[in-house]
């Protein structure tokens, strides 16, 4: 048993299939050979009896005339007619052999090995010579009611055995071919299955690693953010308090305003960090995801257009119900749109951002994608983009928190966010390829998947939650 568990997956599969084929083909071969043997033996018996009886019907004239030469000719003709006829001989009523087909003398043991009965039909008896098995037929020769003698005919069973062997070889050949073909197919199937399982294990390992990394980073970021929050509030409070006492338009007041502005930027960062570390529970209500996406798109469409970027949003006709915190999810859509805008405007030009939303009922997932044909994400950066503070943007332009915060929010919703770059063909919308050259880069797509839920009216849900 231990030996079996140590075998390769494909070997185990092949052994199993081979065992099934052998277990089915062996009894089948036995059954077939037995059925064939019975059918052939029956046919042999009928044929031998008919031949013996027909010779017995022709023999009386020659027996009465004592024409043993003609009797011998008849016997020889009969033997020559059937390839499996071993011998033919004719006895008189006293049992003496009058004519036979044996070339090296008549074997006397055969003389009384079989005898015809009182009836006119031939009697069959199975004889075993040690070398072969044969059916001996004894047909009585009558002239009227007078018994003149007996015709004896020996039919070999070797031919039957040859036929059965041929059948067994045919079954063995078909089973062998089936076995060979099955082993090849099973090996191919096992190899492709093993490849698929390995890829899936690798994906799960990567996801687990990413999740563990995010959790420890989240804890760290959350802890630091929490500690910074208090001194930051004091700095902000004092800078505002001191401004009240400072002279309007004076240098001191300007400096204090700068401190207040920078402290507020820090507070935003701290708030994002706390969001990423999931220290705030999201408020989940059932809603049509399309509403929040549409609102966000509407909000930014104009400013994006000023920078030469159009938004092509196709959200479908049917509502896509998911349980979520509308404000937090809007933050996710906003971060993704902002990133796409930056990617498209990194170099001169502009472009199109394609936003799609659909329900994948089979997988029970709402799927939102934000695709652009901007600068794309370098392969070496793809594993880092969700890390807090990872940014490829110039200092002061990006804090590197947008995606990590979005990651935390989507995870809190029981969903997942992933990115693919270069932009896969299926996300390339017609409006993207329609714009000649503008902002065209390798591009990328961000896909957010959230659990679907059965639809209820959003207004109803909001009222219920107060």
Residues that bind ligand ATP (CB under 6 A): 335, 339-340, 343, 372, 374-377, 385, 390-393, 398-404, 444
Residue 286 interacts with which of Mg ion, ligand ATP, none, CB < 5 to 8 Å by class: none
Cβ pair 62, 98 in contact under 8 A: no
Choosing among ligand ATP, Mg ion, none, which partner's interface includes residue 411 (Cβ < 5 to 8 Å by kind)? none
| Length of the chain, in residues | 466
Q: Look up tokens 């469409």; give the residue.
A: 301
444, interface contact from Mg ion, ligand ATP, none, CB < 5-8 Å by kind: ligand ATP
Q: Which two tokens stand for residue 346?
A: 């990194």
**Structure-token pair, residue 107:** 């074997």
In this structure, the number of other CB atoms found within 10 A of the CB of residue 1 comes to: 5
Write down the least CB distance from residue 370 to ligand ATP, Å: 8
Q: How far is the CB of 346 from ligand ATP (least distance, A)?
A: 8
Kindly state the smallest distance separating residue 402's Cβ from Mg ion, in Å: 3
Rounded least distance, CB 309 to ligand ATP, Å: 12
Minimal distance, residue 358 CB to ligand ATP, in Å:
20
Contact 290, 320 (CB under 8 A): yes
Report the partner that residue 374 touches, choosing among ligand ATP, Mg ion, none (CB closer than 5 to 8 A by kind). ligand ATP
Distance CA 63, CA 95 (A): 13
C-alpha span between 305 and 297 (Å, rounded): 11
Choices 17-25, 313-321, 396-404, 406-414; region in contact with Mg ion by CB under 5 A: 396-404
- Spatial distance between the Cα atoms of 97 and 76, rounded to a whole number of angstroms: 15
CB of 220 to ligand ATP, least distance (A): 17
Instruction: Kindly state the smallest distance separating residue 193's Cβ from Mg ion, in Å.
Output: 40
- Strand partners for 279: none
From the list Mg ion, ligand ATP, none, which binds 400 (C-beta under 5 to 8 Å, kind-based)?
ligand ATP
What is the gyration radius of the CA atoms in the chain, in angstroms? 49
Contact 75, 56 (CB under 8 A): no
The encoded tokens of residue 210 equal 């990413």
Name 352's bridge partners.
310
Torsion of CA 55, 61, 63, 64, to 10 degrees: 160
Minimal CB distance to ligand ATP: which residue?
402
Residue 343 binding target from ligand ATP, Mg ion, none, CB below 5 to 8 Å by type: ligand ATP
Lay out the site mask for Mg ion across 298-337 (x = CB under 5 A, - = otherwise): ----------------------------------------
- CA–CA distance, 73 with 238 (Å, rounded to integer): 139
Q: Would you say 98 or 353 has its CB closer to ligand ATP?
A: 353
The listed partner (Mg ion, ligand ATP, none) that binds 415, CB under 5 to 8 Å by sort, is none
Q: Tell me how far, at minimum, the Cβ of 296 lies from ligand ATP, in Å.
A: 15
Residue 150's binding partner out of Mg ion, ligand ATP, none, with CB under 5 to 8 Å set by partner kind: none
Binder among 339, 375, 399, 421 for Mg ion (CB under 5 A): 339
> Which one among 149, 275, 376, 402 touches Mg ion, defined by CB under 5 A?
402
Cβ proximity to ligand ATP: between 133 and 213 the closer is 213
102 makes contact, choosing from Mg ion, ligand ATP, none, with CB < 5 to 8 Å by partner type, with none
How many Å apart are CA 339 and CA 330, to the nearest integer?
14
Of the candidates 356, 350, 386, which has an alpha carbon nearest to the alpha carbon of residue 370?
Answer: 356
Tokens of 322: 């998911």
The stretch near Mg ion (CB under 5 A) out of 81-89, 204-212, 243-251, 395-403 is 395-403
| CB closer to Mg ion, 351 vs 402 | 402
Given ligand ATP, Mg ion, none, residue 11, with its beta carbon under 5 to 8 Å by kind, binds none
CB of 398 to ligand ATP, least distance (A): 3
| CA 218 to each of CA 46, 105, 277: distance values in angstroms, whole numbers, following the listed order | 93, 108, 4
Cβ neighbours of 216 (radius 10 Å): 9
330 to 126, 324, 456: CA distances (angstroms): 96, 10, 20
Collapsing DSSP to helix, strand or coil, 310 comes out as strand
Nearer to Mg ion, 339 or 373 (CB): 339
Q: Which chain residues interact with Mg ion by CB under 5 A? A: 339, 402
């Amino acid at each position: 048993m231990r030996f079996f568990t140590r075998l390769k997956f494909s070997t185990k599969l092949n052994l199993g299939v081979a065992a099934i084929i052998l277990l089915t083909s062996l009894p089948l071969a036995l059954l077939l050979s037995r059925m064939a043997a019975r059918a052939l033996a029956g046919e042999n018996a009928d044929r031998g009896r008919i031949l013996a009886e027909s010779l017995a019907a022709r023999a009386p004239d020659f027996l009465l005339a004592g024409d043993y030469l003609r009797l011998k000719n008849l016997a020889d003709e009969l033997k020559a007619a059937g390839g499996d006829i071993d011998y033919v001989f004719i006895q008189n009523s006293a049992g003496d052999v009058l004519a036979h087909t044996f070339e090296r003398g008549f074997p006397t043991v055969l003389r009384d090995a079989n005898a015809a009965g009182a009836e006119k039909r031939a009697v069959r008896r199975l004889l075993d010579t040690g070398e072969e098995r044969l059916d001996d037929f004894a047909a009585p020769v009558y002239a009227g009611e007078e018994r003149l003698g007996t015709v004896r005919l020996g039919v070999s069973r070797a031919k039957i055995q040859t036929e059965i062997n041929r059948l067994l070889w045919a079954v063995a050949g078909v089973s062998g071919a089936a076995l060979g073909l099955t082993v090849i197919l099973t090996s191919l199937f096992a190899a492709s299955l093993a490849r698929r399982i390995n890829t899936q294990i690798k994906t799960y390992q990567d996801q687990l690693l990413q999740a563990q990394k995010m959790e420890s980073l989240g804890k760290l970021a959350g802890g630091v953010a929490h500690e910074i929050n208090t001194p930051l509030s004091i700095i902000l409070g004092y800078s505002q308090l001191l401004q009240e006492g400072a002279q309007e338009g004076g240098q001191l007041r300007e400096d204090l305003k700068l401190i207040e502005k920078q402290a507020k930027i820090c507070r935003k960062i701290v708030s994002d960090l706390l969001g990423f570390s999931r220290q705030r529970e999201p408020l989940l209500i059932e809603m049509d995801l399309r509403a929040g996406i549409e609102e966000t798109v509407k909000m930014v469409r104009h400013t994006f257009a000023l920078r030469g970027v159009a938004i092509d949003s196709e959200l479908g006709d049917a509502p896509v119900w998911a349980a979520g915190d509308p404000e937090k999810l809007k933050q996710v859509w906003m971060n993704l749109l902002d990133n796409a805008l930056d990617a498209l405007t990194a170099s001169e030009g502009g472009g199109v951002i394609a936003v799609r939303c659909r329900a994948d009922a089979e997988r029970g997932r709402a799927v939102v994608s934000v695709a652009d044909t901007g600068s794309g994400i370098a392969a070496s950066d793809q594993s880092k983009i969700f890390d807090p503070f990872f940014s490829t943007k110039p200092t002061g332009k990006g804090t590197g928190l947008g995606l990590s915060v979005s990651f935390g929010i989507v995870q809190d919703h029981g969903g997942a966010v992933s990115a693919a770059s270069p932009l896969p063909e299926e996300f390339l919308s017609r409006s993207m390829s329609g714009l000649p050259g503008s902002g065209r880069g390798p591009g990328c797509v961000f896909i957010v998947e959230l659990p679907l839920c059965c639809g209820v009216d959003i207004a109803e849900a909001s009222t219920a939650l107060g």
